[in-house]
Amino acid sequence: METPWKRREFLRAGTAFGAAWAAKPGGLSPSTARVGPAGSFKAVASGNGIRATEKAMALLKQGADPLDAVIAGVNIVEDDPEDMSVGYGGLPNEDGEVELDASVMHGPTHASGAVAALKSIKNPSRVAQLVMERTNHCLLVGEGALKFALAYGFAKENLLTDRAREAWLRWKENLSDRDNWLPPASKNLPPELQAYVQTYGTINCLALDEKGNLAGVTTTSGLSWKRPGRVGDSPIIGAGLYVDNDIGAAGSTGFGEANIMNVASFQVVMLMGQGMSPEQACLEALKRVADKAKRHPRLTGLDGRPNFGMSYYALNKKGEFGSATFVGPSRFAAHDGAKNAMRECAYLYKAKS
């Protein structure tokens, strides 16, 4: 049995080396645009990840480890105050504090790291990588995650932008007409500040290098207006992200609680291991989540559909990739090594007219 020292050195060395079904109900037919030649570079991401796939591909072609590539890709979105679902500028919890979650998984070593309910650090994906590389743990949360990040030189920052603060205040002011929070007299607000319901958003990014090695990252500011300390699926290995270097990688965006209850990213990878294409595996996982949701009175609408959103993204070892979502049309980002483009997701249900 190897000692903890050997295990740490192995993980560190591994990362350092990398761096020097048929028709779908209401959905789309298989697309050859989602398949690439075996052994070629690939980068796949959620719909807000077109810049992430571009960056990840550039680094892959320079010889970077796929984990370093996807983390650098999502850092662009984490740093962008205009994306209100990830990192700096993310929508806060009910107290007006931004809490971030992230996980990473490295195919060649089958190592993972994650942080949850992390405040004041805008790149949780990088902290999650350090948890993987520099500890014997898989997940650090809250104050412990913050202290760990500070110990490794991350700077505390105020993550609540004026735009996100305004959205939070509008939510607070419209919760009730029996409290002392009053909305402004003017109603001329941008659309994103007029939505008072809870929203969720995340970025997932997966990559394959020319050696057939896989990696993935999922990072988010989580459910808006959540209870402080709430943790979704993004930092949970098997739920928000899973990588098996012998099979493929998968990640998710959407309502985290439903995803945790189904460990669906793990399911997607296992279904690919049974011979399904990435798109078929994503659709099958969605069907299973929808079926389980029917048993939960708070998770199903009057129409029998899940009353929440969910999307999966998958990439297998052969370089095939795909995505599926509950309600279409919807798109995801993918770079096939030659072209970076938004592509159509398969889906279970058509949007209501």
Q: What is the CATH number of the domain that holds 194?
A: 3.60.20.30
- pLDDT, residue 11, reads 37
Residue range 37-78, pLDDT digits in tens: 445 899 999 999 999 999 999 999 999 999 999 999 999 999
Is the pLDDT at 311 greater than 70, yes or no? yes
Residue 29, domain member (yes or no) = no
**Residues forming the active site:** 202
Higher pLDDT, 308 or 14: 308
Mean pLDDT (the chain) is: 87
Residue 257 lies in a domain: yes
Provide long-range contacts, Cβ within 8 A and 24+ apart, for 273-278. Answer: 273/244, 273/246, 273/247, 273/248, 276/21, 277/21, 277/30, 277/316, 277/320, 277/322, 278/34, 278/248, 278/250, 278/314, 278/315, 278/316, 278/320, 278/321, 278/322, 278/323
> What letter represents residue 316's amino acid?
N
- Asked if residue 34 is part of any domain, the answer here is no
Across 143-257, the runs of DSSP E, i.e. the strands, are 202-208, 214-220, 241-244, 248-254
Secondary structure (3-state) at 129:
helix
- Name the residue among 93, 37, 45 with its Cα closest to residue 70: 45
Q: What is the mean pLDDT of residues 121-125?
A: 98
pLDDT of residue 28: 32
Q: What confidence tens digit (pLDDT) does each residue in 216-269 have? A: 999 999 999 999 999 999 999 999 999 999 999 999 999 999 999 999 999 999
Examine residue 38 and state whether it is found in any structural domain, yes or no.
no
pLDDT band at 344 (very low <50, low <70, confident <90, very high): very high
Q: What is the pLDDT of residues 63-117, one digit of tens each?
A: 999 999 999 999 999 999 999 999 999 999 999 999 999 999 999 999 999 999 9
**Is 32 inside any structural domain?**
no
Structural domain boundaries enclosing 291:
4-18+43-350
Could you tell me the pTM of the whole model? Answer: 0.86
Q: Is residue 78 part of a domain?
A: yes
Average pLDDT over residues 185-198: 55
Residue located via tokens 């969910």: 310
State the pLDDT confidence band at 32, using cuts at 50, 70 and 90: very low
The answer to whether residue 9 is domain-embedded is yes
CA distance 345 to 13: 37
Q: Identify the residue with better confidence: 151 or 13.
A: 151
Whether 30 maps to a domain, the answer reads no
At residue 95, the pLDDT reads 96
The total domain count for the chain is: 1
Does 16 have pLDDT greater than 60?
no
The pLDDT assigned to 178 comes to 66
